Amino acid sequence: MYTDPIADYLTRVRNAIKANHRVVEIPASNLKKEITKVLFDKGYITNYKFEDKDVQGTIKVALKYNPITKISAIKSIARASKPGLRKYAGVETMPRVLNGLGIAILSTSKGVMTDKEAKNLNIGGEVLCYVY
């Protein structure tokens, strides 16, 4: 049993990219599903599929690669807020990832969204991870 399911999710994606896998299977939860939707909407993954075979279900994520150079769309994916040290950001202290080229995924009172969307809605939240 792992204590940080979000870190496990990010590690599975990171390991699949390093191994040049096309698809990665991840145990599902509502928060992981929302993070997957954000990654798809921002173009970091090709596709995803939620399968509810057993109690928890799984998420199948199709990773995105450049067809010519075979380089992944995700250069780096890192956990920001950890169970031992939560990181929260208000509107004025919102993190800028790679000077605005990357995204920070936040868990807010309005749901899971990127840092830019949270800034537009004028709300803060817990910074889950950084992606670029």
The 10s digit of each residue's pLDDT in 93-126 is: 999 999 999 999 999 999 999 999 999 999 999 9
Are residues 18 and 51 located together in one domain of the fold? yes
Are residues 82 and 53 located together in one domain of the fold? no
Global confidence as pTM: 0.94
Which CATH number do you get for residue 23?
Answer: 3.30.1370.30
Are residues 82 and 111 located together in one domain of the fold? yes
Q: Establish if 68 belongs to a structural domain.
A: no
List the alpha helices (DSSP H) in the chain.
5-18, 30-41, 115-121
pLDDT tens digits for 25-80? 999 999 999 999 999 999 999 999 999 887 889 999 999 999 999 999 999 999 99
Q: Which residues pair with 84 in a beta bridge?
A: none
63 within 8 A of 74, measured Cβ to Cβ: yes
Which CATH number do you get for residue 103?
Answer: 3.30.1490.10
Per-residue model confidence (pLDDT) at position 1: 53
pLDDT tens digits for 48-60? 999 988 788 999 9
Per-residue model confidence (pLDDT) at position 28: 94
Give the domain range for residue 103.
Answer: 77-131
